[in-house]
Chains A and B, each alone.
Chain A
Amino acid sequence: MISTRELTKDFVLSRTETVHAVRGITLDVEPGELVAVLGPNGAGKTTTLRMLTTLIAPTSGTAKVAGYDVATEPGQVRRQIGYVGQGNGAGHSQRVGDELSGQGVIYGLDRRAARQRAEELLESLELKDLTRRKVSELSGGQRRRLDVAMGLVHAPGLLFLDEPSTGLDPQNRANLWDHILRMREQYSMTIVLTTHYLDEADSMAERVVVVDHGEVIADDTADALKAKLAGDLLTLTVAPGHLQATARLADKVAGAKDVVAEGDRISVRVADGPAALPELIAAAQHAGVPVATAQVHRPTLDDVFLNLTGRSLREADSTGKAAA
């Protein structure tokens, strides 16, 4: 569905300053996949998406989207894809129904078919009562659902979503995702989205592509990334005086690393926490160490990012330069 090779984008700001927003992204997306591109602000997520949707031309490298080259056949690419940008696709002075059926006409539906299609989408995205409302009068969540509807009018095989849920409260985010996943099932769409919400990438995407400084630094399922790049964190608290003995036991657990002993607390990273925890407790009891509490922390994608880059996504966000 998507195939890029060494895709790059430079923005020349002045004679002396060029931003290398994307530095050679090679990526393949198969039909039917749901891929989240995760990274801090300025990592190059949006720039990549804008190249794939023909909004900007790559500086070098190639990208084929839905079988067509974005640089030489942009018109064909545009016919095949749906796009929900960061902003509101529907004009604020327009009426909801007008804008949605107008989008259908743009993609070649006749007026009646477009109106019918708009009605169906408004119905299924729970916007039907707002058909005659002006877009500027909608709430943020309603407007975002309308944006998704606009991207779906022509039933595209491939949908791009650029930070679809940014700015929505948790309830609206969940609601939006319900709709997106349902639509995906209905149309067997391939979906590529960017996000800087870790939990969103974690729970929704089947595949997470981590991008930093314009490069792909990891690409796998969320579970595999966590197991490979972070591992589960076991934490035990033990009676004073048994700390060093417990630390030695923790070190012997299969695949153990990063053993930290501090105060009355021992922590250790392991590949499979739920299996390792009983093993460690049993070993401690066998050695006569009374264990007071025991916990397994499943890693988050933030732990993955931290392990990959040495910084947490949150701090990367605040220090990262915004590049389009």
Chain B
Amino acid sequence: MTTLTVSSVQVSTPDTGRRSLLRDTGIVMTRELKPVLRDPFSLLFGMIQPLIFLGLFGPLLAGSMGGSLDGGVWQWFVPAILVMTTLFGTSATGANLLFEFQTGAHERMMVTPLSRSSLLVGRALKEMVPLLGQAVIVIAVMVPFGFDLHLDGAILGLALLAVFGIGLGSFSYALAIAVRKQDWMFWVVQQTFLFPLMILSGMLLPLETGPAWMRVASKVNPLSYLVDAERALFSGDVTSTTVLWGWLAALITVALGLTVGIRTMLRSAT
């Protein structure tokens, strides 16, 4: 049997006062990032995925409608790829939570004093860290091909994506919690929403040439506003109303997402 010495533990949990949401979010995000950073191979493959899509889909797009797109095909397509990466990353992120639900790790964290919203926000923000890396790589690779970088717009564009990503991530968590007893349902529902949202946002192909009903559908798709705003921002147009609509769509998404997500989480512990 090992003998042991235990230092006196000074746990600084004041009896009064609120915990800092920022600090808690940082803790949750750091925890989520650790396995990613400890596994450089998956990180590397994750980083180059948008490039693969860009390399395979971009030339087709350029060939079929290169001339008709404002500012050239890359100015049109690069922001869309970043939105798509955010969309895939954050909407799938509930799967991690689902797994931690099943193992008991989520329950353990629910018993700690961590603020409830930090458990969602921290997890969703974690998806944004690789996204930043991906954005830098995509932009660096595309600049030689004629992509025009406007730094202020690009930074604002990524901030806008982060806000939207937190909202979407929260929805993804709510979904994970709702289907936790039939976990295969998670991917069924996620895919059912993901593809219509994506196609009806004009992300991959412009909708101007599509039938009228598709254009109407895109008007009620919050993602359309986000995609348009990102295209405007990445072209250096930081003050247009298009950008404003994008922020509005992102803020509504994040407000709804957090409300639904936290509610679902608090009700889940049965």
Contact (Cβ within 8 A) A87 B103: yes
Chain A residues with Cβ below 8 Å from B113 are 75, 78-79, 106-107
Contact (Cβ within 8 A) A107 B2: no
Contact (Cβ within 8 A) A106 B27: yes
Given A108-B12, A155-B9, are A102 and B4 neighbors across the interface (CB < 8 Å)? no
B105: nearest residue on chain A (CB-CB)? A91
Does residue A180 face the partner (Cβ distance < 8 Å to B)? Answer: no
**How many angstroms from the CA of A186 to the CA of B30 in the assembled complex?**
31
Q: Which of B1, B15, B100, B103 has the most CB of A within 10 A?
A: B103
Given A123-B4, A124-B4, are A93 and B35 neighbors across the interface (CB < 8 Å)? yes
Chain A residues with Cβ below 8 Å from B13 are 79, 107-108, 154
Chain A residues with Cβ below 8 Å from B105 are 87-92
Given A55-B111, A102-B30, are A120 and B7 neighbors across the interface (CB < 8 Å)? yes
A109: nearest residue on chain B (CB-CB)? B11
Does residue A95 face the partner (Cβ distance < 8 Å to B)? Answer: yes
A interface: dominant SS = mixed
Contact (Cβ within 8 A) B108 A89: yes
Total interface residues in chain A, CB < 8 Å? 46
Does residue B31 face the partner (Cβ distance < 8 Å to A)? Answer: yes
Query: Which of B1, B11, B35, B110 is A55 in contact with, Cβ under 8 Å?
Result: B110
Does residue A213 face the partner (Cβ distance < 8 Å to B)? Answer: no
Instruction: Give the shortest distance, in Å, between A9 (CB) and chain B (any CB).
Output: 9
Please provide the chain A residues from 9 to 66 with a CB less than 8 Å away from any CB of chain B in the complex.
Answer: 11, 50, 53-56
Q: Mark A66-104, 1 if CB is under 8 A from B, else 0.
A: 000000000110110101011111111111001100110
**How many angstroms from the CA of A178 to the CA of B110 in the assembled complex?**
28
Chain A residues with Cβ below 8 Å from B6 are 120, 124, 186
Contact (Cβ within 8 A) A120 B11: no
Contact (Cβ within 8 A) B31 A94: yes
24 residue pairs from A and B, CB less than 8 Å apart: A53-B111, A54-B111, A78-B113, A85-B107, A85-B108, A85-B111, A86-B104, A88-B104, A88-B105, A89-B108, A90-B108, A91-B31, A91-B100, A92-B105, A94-B34, A95-B35, A102-B31, A105-B27, A106-B109, A109-B9, A109-B10, A109-B11, A150-B108, A186-B4
Chain B residues within CB distance 8 Å of chain A: 1-2, 4-7, 9-13, 15, 19, 27, 30-31, 34-35, 38, 99-100, 102-105, 107-114, 269-270
Given contacts A76-B15, A102-B31, 19 further A-B contacts (CB under 8 A): A54-B111, A55-B269, A56-B269, A56-B270, A87-B104, A87-B108, A90-B108, A91-B31, A92-B105, A93-B35, A94-B34, A95-B35, A102-B27, A105-B27, A106-B114, A107-B113, A113-B10, A123-B2, A154-B11
